[in-house]
């Protein structure tokens, strides 16, 4: 593909809001995970909760979008001056020339879960104040962002479970390549809700401890929440030093099972190969891999096999979900931003909570963050339904 510039980017997770907090957390091997105290949930698990999400007040004219998920959209957009960079891009290109491509798995389903508790005892009707379109619907976060910036161009939500906000980069890149738009707001937002917490628990995939990706004794995920965004534009003739570029995107399907990965990681391998092909780079050019690494026994084993088969056992790699939790539909964008931080700060992120590497997975897995040159990074995101996406990012010298 033709490389694209991430002219601005930001991430908000349980590590903190914005790049500075995220970078400090990664450098200090900090984890933002805490025992689950959320809403009325009574599960023995840990979560990655973003603080002060519900303190966000949406603009009056957009109050119909008010729900935890869209509050996190706003919190995320306003971090690092990202919203200001978007407004400058709109001024440059026009309001119909900036597209919106946002990923989510559950959008504002929490709003519906809460509304179902308030159904009319006689008629069974949902409460008057519940608005499906602007809270529950998968498009609600993209529509909110489009209206937040007064945009009039194309917009779509990608919802492929935990690969959603990696695949937004592919969708946006295609429209930038065709010239439909001149810039794209890409990203992902997912928030804690009962569906995912009880859902992953029903599959016995939540850990009673903080998640330990790629640990010999890993025993499940820690559900997190997050918002991460990037502004994608064409690369100028002379990009400034330290510019982060999207170099390649690879997508594939497992065609195997709805909630279990292909045991040999075949779909994962196809996605990584496609991303390298798209970037025009050999496997040896990758300096760091941000693994999907959810910390379930099956997921890490399958991904590990695919990574070893393609990259061997030398490339430094880690999953950062021990720090952020699994932010589900936001994971792709969160981890793309973590790769950007790795490349621009010479940082190889570690894996908080992981103690003992799994000897069955021979990878150069980073337990502790350390400094190291990263010119090209690869980020993996895989989801239910066998949806796989890998991104290759680079930095200008």
Partner 1 sequence: MIQTPLMAWIEGIGFIAPGLNDWPATCAVLRGEAAYVAAPSLLPAPSILPAAERRRASRIVKLTLAIGLEAAVHAAADVSQLATVFTASGADGHNCHALCEQLATDDRLISPTRFHNSVHNAAAGYWGIATKSMAPCQVLCAYDASFGAGLFDALGQVVVDTQPTLLIAYDSEYPEPLHSKRDTPDCAGVALLLTPQMTAHSLAQLTLRSTAEKAQKMADPDLENLRTAIPALRVLPLLQMLAKGESGTVCLDYLAPMQLSIDLKLC
Binding site for partner 1 (CB under 8 A): 1, 96, 105, 109, 112-113, 116-117, 119, 124-126, 130-133, 137-140, 142-143, 146, 152-161, 167, 170-171, 173-175, 177-180, 182, 194-195, 198-200, 202-203, 251-259, 266-267, 270, 274, 383-387
Nearer to partner 1, 139 or 311 (CB): 139
The residues, any chain, with a CB within 8 Å of residue 276's CB and separated by 6 or more, are 248, 250, 282, 283, 286, 378, 392
Q: Min. distance of Cβ 106 from partner 1 in angstroms?
A: 8
| Strands 244-253 and 4-13, sheet pairing | antiparallel
How many CA atoms lie within 13 Å of 1's alpha carbon, on the beta-carbon side?
Answer: 29
Q: Give, for 91, the enclosing helix (H) or strand (E).
A: helix 82-93
Nearer to partner 1, 63 or 368 (CB): 63
Query: Contact 268/298 with Cβ under 8 angstroms?
Result: no
Nearer to partner 1, 186 or 367 (CB): 186
Q: Give, for 156, the enclosing helix (H) or strand (E).
A: strand 155-158
Nearer to partner 1, 81 or 127 (CB): 127
Q: Min. distance of Cβ 115 from partner 1 in angstroms?
A: 8
Nearer to partner 1, 19 or 274 (CB): 274
User: Which residues carry out catalysis?
Assistant: 162, 292, 326
Q: Min. distance of Cβ 291 from partner 1 in angstroms?
A: 20
Q: Min. distance of Cβ 377 from partner 1 in angstroms?
A: 21
Q: Min. distance of Cβ 261 from partner 1 in angstroms?
A: 12
Quick one: which of 354, 376, 378 has its CA closest to 366? 354
Alpha carbon distance 67, 369 (integer Å): 35
Structure tokens at 100: 């919106």
Quick one: which of 315, 309, 173, 190 has its CA closest to 250? 173
Backbone φ and ψ of 325, nearest 5° = 75, 175
Alpha helix positions (H), 179-314: 194-202, 266-279, 297-311
Cα dihedral 202→204→209→210 (10° resolution): -80
Alpha carbon distance 306, 320 (integer Å): 18
Q: Min. distance of Cβ 79 from partner 1 in angstroms?
A: 25
Quick one: which of 268, 288, 393 has its CA closest to 333? 393
Nearer to partner 1, 180 or 396 (CB): 180
């Amino acid at each position: 593909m033709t490389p694209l510039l991430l002219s601005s980017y930001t991430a908000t997770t349980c590590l903190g809001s914005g790049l500075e907090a995220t970078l400090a957390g990664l450098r200090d091997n900090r984890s933002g995970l805490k025992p689950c105290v959320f809403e009325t949930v009574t599960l023995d698990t840990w979560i990655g909760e973003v603080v002060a999400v519900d303190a966000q007040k949406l603009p009056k004219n957009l109050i119909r979008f008010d729900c935890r998920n869209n509050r996190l959209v706003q919190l995320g957009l306003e971090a690092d001056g990202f919203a200001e960079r978007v407004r400058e891009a709109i001024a440059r290109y026009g309001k119909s020339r900036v597209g919106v491509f946002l990923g989510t798995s559950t959008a504002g389903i929490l709003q519906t879960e809460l509304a179902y508790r308030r159904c009319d005892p006689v008629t069974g009707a949902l409460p008057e104040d519940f608005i499906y379109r602007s809270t529950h619907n998968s498009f609600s976060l993209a529509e909110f962002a489009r209206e937040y910036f007064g945009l009039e161009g194309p917009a779509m939500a990608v919802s492929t479970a935990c690969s959603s906000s990696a695949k937004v980069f592919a969708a946006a890149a295609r429209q930038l390549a065709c010239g439909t738009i001149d810039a794209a707001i890409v990203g992902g937002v997912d928030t804690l809700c009962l569906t995912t917490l009880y859902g992953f628990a029903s599959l016995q995939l939540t850990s009673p401890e903080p998640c330990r990706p790629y640990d010999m004794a890993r025993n499940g995920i820690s559900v997190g929440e997050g918002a991460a965004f990037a502004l994608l534009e064409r690369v100028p003739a002379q990009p400034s030093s330290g510019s982060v570029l999207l170099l390649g995107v690879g997508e594939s399907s497992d065609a195997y099972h709805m909630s279990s990965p292909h045991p040999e990681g075949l779909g994962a391998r196809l996605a990584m190969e496609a991303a390298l092909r798209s970037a025009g780079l050999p496997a040896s050019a990758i300096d760091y891999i941000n693994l999907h690494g959810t910390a379930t026994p099956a997921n890490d084993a399958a991904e590990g096999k695919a990574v070893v088969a393609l990259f061997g056992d030398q490339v430094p790699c880690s999953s950062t979900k021990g720090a952020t939790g699994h932010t589900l539909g936001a994971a792709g964008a969160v981890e793309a931003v973590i790769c950007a931080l790795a490349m621009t700060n010479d940082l190889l992120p570690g894996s908080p909570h992981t103690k003992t590497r799994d000897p069955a997975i021979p990878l150069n897995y980073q337990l502790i963050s350390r400094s190291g040159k990263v010119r090209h990074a690869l980020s993996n995101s895989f989801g239910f339904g066998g949806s796989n996406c890998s991104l290759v990012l680079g930095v200008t010298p």
